[in-house]
Chain A
């Protein structure tokens, strides 16, 4: 990958981070994404909306796809087959499947998600729906580690805030925001190449 290409991806990832920042300001889990089309540019933006909607499925990817396709829309659903998603945290298993079924072309993400990740963290939904063999219809390319530290610090800023909508608010007053992010271990992979 050339330096120019790398800078382009980083620019788009900063746009996704801006969405995460917006989520943080509205007490949502700070995960943000943008959907980029090669000629139309950024056609969709999303941030986590699970607190606002009280619906645990309203992740940033759903919001961005909704923005593109909700009526009145200038696009038909097959536009997603030409699009690249930039998202601050690895898509969860649910979103990885959503993207697969809509036929996304490529995914760039920041931090890995070992608890729910659907593109390497827990399952490889982007490869044969998690069968572990690629080359199937719906497979997409994935590249992780883009602005990973920024994405992680964003999540930590959220977790030191109180989530007053959770059933029993936990005291987070003693929690301290840690800004240093451990370097990526060699085994975890997903680094920017």
Chain B
């Protein structure tokens, strides 16, 4: 994954001391499958042949086992020079082979071990052999294609020469991520700054925690802000019963309610409700009017969040079919990220992109310029605790 740095103007500041456009870097999120430490391995038979016999041997294998028995080995080199394969495989081969050392050899993956008995394979290869017995050694190869050049390099050293082809079986295609990132990085810092401003407003007005969200619609005409919402969990809500406040009034839930309320034929739940979908702060009224007439939920909109949304809000964002999510501060109870935070206290649910769910989006973490690596400094006096459900 690539990440580009952009530097917005940082000379204009709002009354809250928040710069109008934050400078920082967008870091594409990882999926649960990408962060899984388990590499699925396949057992294979490996042999070596004189260089000039290489293509003949491969033809023989293809006759014997058409299409490699259905296994996709495109991410692996079929042939590899002895010095390019892990020494364990090389040593294991030469320990049983009577090959004279002056023959130039090339190693190759013969077959996935589970699809053909070793003795049958040996017999068939032996018929094609001019001198000496065929030696088959067993090795392991990664079943799936690598998701990064670094992973390909690590697998090459550990298992077998592996090629990174800029594909991703475990998440969105890197080309799609790169294109989307180029679209959003010009103004991501601006929308996040707006989110932080409404967060400050929510906190200072004591209506909620210092959490803010902005929803943006992107079209050929450019970007339009459809909703700005601060957290309102304490708005008209008792603080003395020891709870978490009005859970339905988290910033993301409010922003979604604000956008969908403007859709044609939307009917409110009840006359009075707890959902806080009406604007509470001046910034929340300063948004663009109606959404695309054929709008459906929050289909393909972008959501910019000061904090990683909690599990409820993360799933609400999935249900609402957003196209992209950007957030700045990682949270211990956040539902978006798949990899654990630096304190290893994240949930790892990775709800932005999960195979089981019927909707996936693109996602980035915004790392502010000048921050340490963790991006989690409490840089504002009213910022919230990391354990909060944001």
Contacts and interface: CB of A to CB of B under 8 A. Distances in A.
Contacts of B248: 62, 65-66, 98
Contact of A167 (B253, B261, B270, B296): B296
Contacts of A95: 312
Contacts of B265: 54
Contacts of B335: 93, 97
A130 B310 CA distance: 12
A71 interface: yes
Interface of A: 49, 52-58, 62-63, 65-67, 69-71, 76-78, 92-98, 100-103, 114-116, 118, 122-123, 125, 129-131, 166-167
A70 B272 contact: yes
Contacts of A69: 274
A116 B357 contact: yes
Contact of B315 (A53, A63, A67, A92): A92
Nearest to B315: A94
B361 interface: no
For chain B, give the interface size range: 35 or more
A166 B356 CA distance: 21
Contact of B273 (A66, A94, A102): A66
Given A53-B266, A57-B319, 11 more contacts: A53-B267, A57-B320, A66-B273, A93-B335, A93-B351, A94-B316, A96-B311, A102-B244, A115-B358, A118-B311, A123-B349
A78 B240 CA distance: 10
A147 B256 CA distance: 33
A53 B269 contact: yes
B330 to A, nearest CB: 15
Contacts of A77: 237-238, 241, 243, 246
B263 interface: yes
Nearest to A98: B312
B319 A115 contact: no
25 contacts: A53-B260, A54-B265, A54-B266, A55-B297, A55-B320, A56-B298, A56-B321, A57-B320, A62-B275, A65-B274, A66-B273, A66-B274, A69-B274, A71-B236, A71-B272, A78-B242, A93-B335, A94-B311, A94-B312, A98-B312, A102-B244, A102-B247, A114-B356, A116-B358, A130-B349
Nearest to A46: B269
B257 A57 contact: yes
B225 interface: no
Given A55-B261, A77-B241, A129-B333, A63 B311 contact: no
Nearest to B356: A122
Nearest to A68: B274
Contacts of A65: 248, 274
Contacts of A101: 244, 247, 310, 312, 389
Nearest to B246: A77
Contacts of A102: 243-244, 247
A71 B271 CA distance: 10
Contacts of A76: 238, 241
A112 B275 CA distance: 28
A56 B296 CA distance: 9
Interface in B308-351: 310-316, 319-321, 333, 335, 347, 349, 351
A68 to B, nearest CB: 9
A1 to B, nearest CB: 30
Nearest to A168: B296
B293 to A, nearest CB: 12
Contacts of B315: 92-94, 97, 116, 118
